[in-house]
Structure 1
Amino acid sequence: MELQEVRERDQKTAHWKKEIITWIRTIAVILILVGLVRGFLFTNYIVHGQSMMPTIHDGERIIVNKIGYEIGVPERFDLIIFHATEESDYIKRIIGVPGDHVMYKGDTLFVNGEPYEEDFLKHNRENYEHGLFTEDFSLESITGYEQVPEGYVFVLGDNRRNSLDSRHIGFVKVEDIVGKANLAYWPPKNFRFYSTTKH
């Protein structure tokens, strides 16, 4: 084999080695970034139970934004994941934020004396035939507080007749909130984004 051929072969080998190393580095960076994004910015959950139906169904997989409340604050009607116990995380909807007085009367939500529409309950109300879908209560009657305390939120499930929420477990600490539900991605036919309903 001539010296020129050997040099060309060595150059090709060196070129391929550089290409492989470049690809390995690129893949490693991508995996690290995906790990960081998943670990610190977003995570996914499988929903268990029927407390949020029909907004969120049992067995659906959802993406949760973990960074949103690091730069913002929880808002009324956000769908949140929070640590309910050491073993369990719940998904519920924020109904009251710090300073709010919450009351239900005649199946209508009143916050600080002002009535609020809850469009996300329309399907449930239309299909419920046994009186009030959300029974009458006031914040004082179930928590002993006139307002939601600073550092806490008041949450309810959309399936009001089948939900373990602030009516039973009390206020949720803001520091126990994992994040805000952004979208459902599985099963694919149920893919959708969640938006906060504004009054």
Structure 2
Amino acid sequence: MELKEDKNRIRLVVGWIVDIAVVISIAWFAVFAMGTQIRVSGQSMEPVLSQNEKVLMNRLSYRVMRPKRYDIIVFEKETGNYNIKRVIGLPGETVQIKDGYIYINNEKLDAPNDLGKAALAGLAEYPISLDKNEYFLLGDNRSGSEDSRFSNVGNVKFRQIKGKVWLRIQPVSRFGLISSR
């Protein structure tokens, strides 16, 4: 009888181990099948994202829906490099930076965490009209960001957007979901 109980315990433990391995495998596949690991380059998104941090980008999110204001996205520049910025202006809107503040369709952007401010206007000193598939992107560290305010980036077309940043995976001490606000 003792031998039968030992076999049942072993089967139970092995069953649990197999179940856990299957769940971990499915979770790993789901995360990496729909996501891509990206290394943050530069300080343009500080304090939200810092140099050399690794994040996961959801490649499928914008196949189903369009980027929203304040989403942190990955886009491909004409040079082929990937960059991470925040969506500020949406298709069909007019963006302008006046007196250190961002205006969307002539209305001051009321944004949390100073996201509605930008000391340097660049190209946005004058109104910028976005076409139906264009976005205006800014880095959170406005004084240290090369973004839509400059001609080498400019307005970003929807086809250039590769996905939404959603999870920081390194460093482990800062592991967690990335909030758009």
TM-score, structure 2 as length reference: 0.75
Q: Is this contact kept in 1: 2:97–2:125, CA < 8 A?
A: no
Instruction: Among all aligned residue pairs of Structure 1 and Structure 2, give the percentage whose two residues are the same amino acid.
Output: 31
Matched, 1:70 2:63: yes
The CA deviation at 1:36 is: 6.7
| 1:155 aligned partner | 137
Give the secondary structure class of the aligned counterpart of 1:166. coil
Give the secondary structure class of the aligned counterpart of 2:162. strand
Please give the per-residue CA displacement for 1:134-178, whole angstroms capped at 9, x wherever unaligned: 22466473xxx7421111111111111111111122111111111
Matched, 1:42 2:26: no
Aligned-residue Cα RMSD (Å) equals 2.9
Please, which runs of 5 or more residues in structure 2 have no aligned partner?
Answer: 1-17
| 2:4 aligned partner | none
| 1:108 aligned partner | 101
Change (3 A) 1:187 1:33: closer
| 1:181 aligned partner | 165
Matched, 1:83 2:76: yes
Matched, 1:118 2:98: no
The CA deviation at 1:92 is: 0.5
For residues 113 and 86 of structure 1, the distance between their equivalents in structure 2, rounded to whole angstroms, comes to: 32
| 2:176 aligned partner | 192
For residues 111 and 94 of structure 1, the distance between their equivalents in structure 2, rounded to whole angstroms, comes to: 12
The CA deviation at 1:180 is: 0.5
The CA deviation at 1:114 is: 1.8
Q: Is this contact kept in 2: 1:120–1:158, CA < 8 A?
A: no
The CA deviation at 1:31 is: 6.2
Question: In the TM superposition, what are the counterparts of 1:25-40 in structure 2 within 5 Å?
Answer: 34=28, 38-39=32-33
Task: Select 2:45's aligned residue among 39, 45, 52.
Answer: 52
Task: Select 2:147's aligned residue among 165, 171, 174.
Answer: 165
For residues 57 and 181 of structure 1, the distance between their equivalents in structure 2, rounded to whole angstroms, comes to: 13
Give the secondary structure class of the aligned counterpart of 1:175. helix
Please give the per-residue CA displacement for 1:73-112, whole angstroms capped at 9, x wherever unaligned: 1111110001113441000011111011111222222111
For residues 166 and 46 of structure 1, the distance between their equivalents in structure 2, rounded to whole angstroms, comes to: 21
The CA deviation at 1:113 is: 1.8
Aligned length: 161
Please, which runs of 5 or more residues in structure 1 have no aligned partner?
Answer: 1-22, 126-131
Q: Is this contact kept in 2: 1:103–1:137, CA < 8 A?
A: no
For residues 173 and 91 of structure 2, the distance between their equivalents in structure 1, rounded to whole angstroms, comes to: 37
Q: Is this contact kept in 2: 1:96–1:155, CA < 8 A?
A: yes
